[in-house]
Amino acid sequence: MKTNNEIPLKQRLLAIIIDYLIIIAYLLSLFIIFTIMYLFILDGVPEYSAFESQLIATFTTVIPIILLFTCLESTGKSFGKNKTGLKLHFTKSKTTSALIRNSIKFLPWQLGHMGTIQSIYNDFNLWSVMLSWVSILLLITLLFMAFFRSDKRHLGDILAGTQVQSK
């Protein structure tokens, strides 16, 4: 691991933006598929409970994205890292480390889903507000660590034994 990892902020940010665009493309595809399914197969959107909505959000968005990025990063590169000349350095098992890293990296997204769904079904109760705030604070913490720590490692990197480095 490099203690002074000199990745330019612009390069790291561009990698994140490229990966985010891939995620948006996946979510847009999912939206189109579900819209077609609801309009032409199910004759409308069924009513879901809060629990069912949580399961749908988790198993159609968060888990597939975690698994996709785990597969990509176990080879050392996501789409964004590949395009910007970055790679993921491992000190432990690549697949396990990538899974831990991505589970932590996408945890704010999952917590955000949980908070939003709780808000919809429970009128912004204390639990939904707390989940939303924890999501935002964790996201800011992860970004701050990745951009401003001298080793450029966020919490997921530290727990997984990984580090984003220039090629």
Amino acid (1-letter code) at residue 106:
F
Q: Is residue 167 over pLDDT 90?
A: no
CA 12 to CA 90: how far, in whole Å?
18
Residues 32-86: tens digit of each pLDDT? 999 999 999 998 999 999 999 999 999 999 999 999 999 999 987 899 999 999 9
Triad 98, 102, 104: Cα angle to 5°: 125
pLDDT digits (tens, 9 = 90+) for 8-31: 999 999 999 999 999 999 999 999
DSSP 8-state class, residue 148: H
List C-alpha distances in Å: 88 to 13, 132, 155. 15, 29, 15
The reported pTM is 0.92
